[in-house]
Amino acid sequence: MNRIPLSRRRALQPHPLWLFEENYLLLRRLLPTLRAGAHFVLESDAGRHALEARVEECGPYTSLLVLTTGMAGEGQLPPPLTLRVRVYHDARLAEVIGYQDCVHIPPGYAARMADGFQRDERRQVNRLLHEVLQHCRRHGHVAVEQV
């Protein structure tokens, strides 16, 4: 039996939007300028590609990025991972809205096992984005704009 009172347990849990806020901050540190049609490659000091970023849409309040990890043709496993990320500039949030061939990630309350989604699928994918961005930042990857 859990002896910690419910009010105390809620206080111990992080704010529900912390992950989206953190993703926004990490993205803006790695990609300080976003404009429609921009294409960036994040490289390490050794010249290895970690992440490719394309800005598909850019408006005053939101932007849509397509992030691809690991470049195709390197012959490494796992295969490249593609994430579609909506960046909300006014709210300072970044959320994964699609990945791989999945165009829409249902919210937890609407997901069913029959659809092939986990109840916390959206949270898991946003956590993955967070880990990828942290990896890039930790290893000193720098955005190089492609022309």
What pLDDT band is residue 105 in, cutting at 50, 70 and 90?
confident
Would you put residue 92 in left (φ > 0), alpha (ψ -120 to 50) or beta?
A: left
Q: In terms of Cα–Cα distance, which of 91, 100, 92, 93 is closest to 121?
A: 100
Residue 142 has pLDDT above 60, yes or no: yes
Chain segment 24-83, per-residue pLDDT in tens: 999 999 998 888 888 998 887 666 667 899 999 999 999 999 999 875 455 555 678 899
What is the dihedral sign for C-alpha 31, 32, 35, 38?
A: negative
Residue 1 has pLDDT above 60, yes or no: no
